[in-house]
Amino acid sequence: STETQCGVPKIMSAYLGQNITINCNYPEEYERNTKNLIRLNDDSFIQDVLDTNTNFQNGRFSISDNTSAKVFSVNISNVEENDEAFYLFGVWNQDVGVSYWTIFAQMWLQVTGE
């Protein structure tokens, strides 16, 4: 399948300068969790690009959460070459004594010329 469970494509193609929106559906039990967009850099370094708690906007990247529709959306405006990377869509869980990621999707953003 070319789509992940939550509806995010496994590979997303974007042109330089394009504006794109990616929607990720999530189960009801995660309604109150902070949603995150995470970038995987070449050295497997995880970079929290966006989250719905404190970091709604980061440069050309923004995130929003529609809790009634159970979908969070990531918008990238004016796509640049160095946006090409693996991105993870997920939530941060904090239970008593333990914190962990739940990842809904991994997406490769492929950036091509005009």
Kindly tell me if the per-residue pLDDT of 24 is higher than 80. Answer: yes
Superfamily of domain 11-112: Immunoglobulins (2.60.40.10)
Q: What is the sign, positive or negative, of the torsion defined by CA atoms of 84, 54, 27, 94?
A: positive
Between CA 89 and CA 103 the distance in angstroms is 6
Q: What is the pLDDT of residues 65-112, one digit of tens each?
A: 999 999 999 999 999 999 999 999 999 888 889 988 899 999 999 999
* Closest C-alpha to 26, from 66, 53, 62: 66
pTM: 0.88
From the list 61, 57, 86, 55, the residue with the least C-alpha distance to 75 is: 61
Residue extents of the structural domains in the chain? 11-112
pLDDT above 70: percentage of residues in the chain: 96
Per-residue confidence (pLDDT) for residue 108, from 0 to 100: 97
